[in-house]
Chain A
Amino acid sequence: MSGVVLVLAVFLACCVEAVEALTVVLAVGLTRGWRSALLGAGAAALSLAAIAAALGPSLLLIPLDALRLVVGGLLLTFGLQWLRKAILRASGHKSRHDEEAVFAAEVAHARQASASGQAVDWYSFTLAFKAVLLEGLEVVFIVVSFGSNQGSLLLAAAGALAAVLVVAGAGVLVRHPLSRVPENTLKFAVGVMLTAFGTFWGTEGAGGSWPGHDAALLAVVPAVAAFSVALAFVAARLPGGRSGRQPMVELTP
């Protein structure tokens, strides 16, 4: 493998991992605020740097499947809870007034926490931290395994750094257009993403393997989205639902 091919292979592999982490950070930041999401991502990056510096090549001994199992299981649990609420709201079975009251309470709680210097939303922090740490570890694994096999850790690290910078730049660019999407639609999408990623990582962590490996996500995400929309559609037509009089998904904020 030549130097260019090595950098390109590491770049592409790391782009996939970085996009997966970015998806979770964007989802959490857009729905629950950027501060805690970015703090979680930053803390994960620092932890990753500390782990990489302390362990070096022995990083390859970390049981990645066990980590995938725990992170996948938690993401799947969180994702299904989000989707459940979003479907109930979209189909009219959960009152938006309740949600507004909860939101007002959360804002009041956040202000109180801010006044006492504890403005971190631990839910957002943990989600962003886990996603970035897991994907970051995979990036480090790719760098160490490709780099040590080809005898050039530096070139492999350059490919990985370029991938992370390109994906992070893309994330900054799409942040503003995404922030104009209505809240419940966004929460619906976040639920779909967390559920899809949780399903993917959980299966891999439990020892299963997906047909097509990472490319399977391209089928899992739309499948979860289609099923959730269908479920909201059916629930809206049940007694107490929206009955099709109002749109299930808002098109304007």
Chain B
Amino acid sequence: MRRFAHFWYDFVIGDDWRIAVGVVTGLALTAFVARQGWPAWWLLPLLVVCVLAGSIAVEVRAGTQDLQSEPEHHH
């Protein structure tokens, strides 16, 4: 059961859960704005820009911190 749940988590959510949360939020916002009768096509492209840039920034910052915390090896 745990392996099954892990497979689906890996399959749908992947490495960064913020992406899946962002997509669901973006779709909900798009549905809400469209229901008010306002143009909603620009919302998901804006979400792509924010989510992708945010996810890359988090990964780059984490990588930089890892590099700084690693002891230097002199041979």
Contact = CB atoms under 8 A, between A and B. Distances in A.
Interface in A114-139: 122-123, 126
Nearest to A205: B27
Interface string A227-253: 110010001001111000000000000
Contacts of A83: 52
B48 A195 contact: yes
Interface residues of B, number: 37
Contact of B41 (A84, A87, A216, A239): A216
B63 A93 contact: yes
B34 A240 contact: no
A202 B51 CA distance: 15
Nearest to B16: A84
Which secondary structure characterizes the binding site on chain B?
A: helix
Contacts of A210: 41
A144 B16 CA distance: 42
A227 B49 CA distance: 8
A64 interface: no
Contact of A202 (B16, B23, B56, B59): B23
A206 B16 contact: no
A15 B22 CA distance: 32
A231 B53 contact: yes
24 contacts: A69-B31, A74-B12, A76-B26, A77-B23, A80-B19, A80-B23, A80-B52, A87-B56, A93-B56, A93-B63, A122-B11, A202-B26, A202-B44, A203-B41, A206-B27, A206-B34, A206-B40, A207-B40, A210-B41, A231-B56, A238-B60, A239-B67, A240-B64, A240-B67
Given A72-B27, A198-B23, A205-B27, 8 more contacts: A73-B24, A80-B48, A93-B63, A126-B11, A203-B44, A206-B30, A208-B41, A231-B53
